[in-house]
Structure 1
Amino acid sequence: MNAPTPTEATPTEKHADAPTLTVYPRPLARATVSIAMGMLLCIPWMIYVEWRDRRKEANSLSSAPFVVDLNLATESELNLLPGVGPKLAKEILRLRDERGKFERVEDLLAVPGIKQTRLDQIRPYVVVP
């Protein structure tokens, strides 16, 4: 029998017929364990970074889920605006019918019931092209 190489385990006399086991060199085993541990530690970090980036992207988009064109909006569309109920929606339509198209969003201040605070509340949701 040839002399065993450093990577082979020598069978004992008690187990002479047992197969020879190959033992990996210690530096390779350490490197493998280090890589596996690194991956296990990095995966949650990668998931967090992805979640954080998606959250930033969602926050950077307009906070308004919809935008209403004041010159084309119907009463039901105006009812969707925060702080605008059926009565105020009718007032906006009445003013639009009397004066014609809105020139700018600030024209809503002429509607009875809309003051600066309510206009600031509505502003992200309306446009006047």
Structure 2
Amino acid sequence: MSTAIQALHFLATGKANFFEGNLILEKYICGTPLKVTVERECLLSEKIKDEAINMLREVIRQWPELKNSTIDDLRELFIQRNGKLIKKGSKYKIIVERKVQDLLLEKLSWNISAVNFPWRKDVLFVDW
């Protein structure tokens, strides 16, 4: 599970090193309890890093409004955002800090308001 958490962190930040307290969302996505410590040693192969970068390039390619953007632009504008992960009963919701660039989210051809991970029983609702 540590590799998956580290991969998500790399996807979001471009960095292999991390602060444990900043891995809340990554742990939630992977279904890892918050109290579980993530291995400090980097477990990411170059292949995993390359796949993460290729996935971000594909997001930019599929989102015409970002066609002149870099991977770092995508990360800074849409992925590395302040927010709160809230649990209400058995449901989880993320409330993301609103920004001007959120207008571009309306142009996406995929849903980002309800995220269903096949390995999780719950749906993550996102408030942009």
TM range (shorter): under 0.3
| TM-score normalised according to structure 2 size | 0.26
Bigger strand fraction: 2
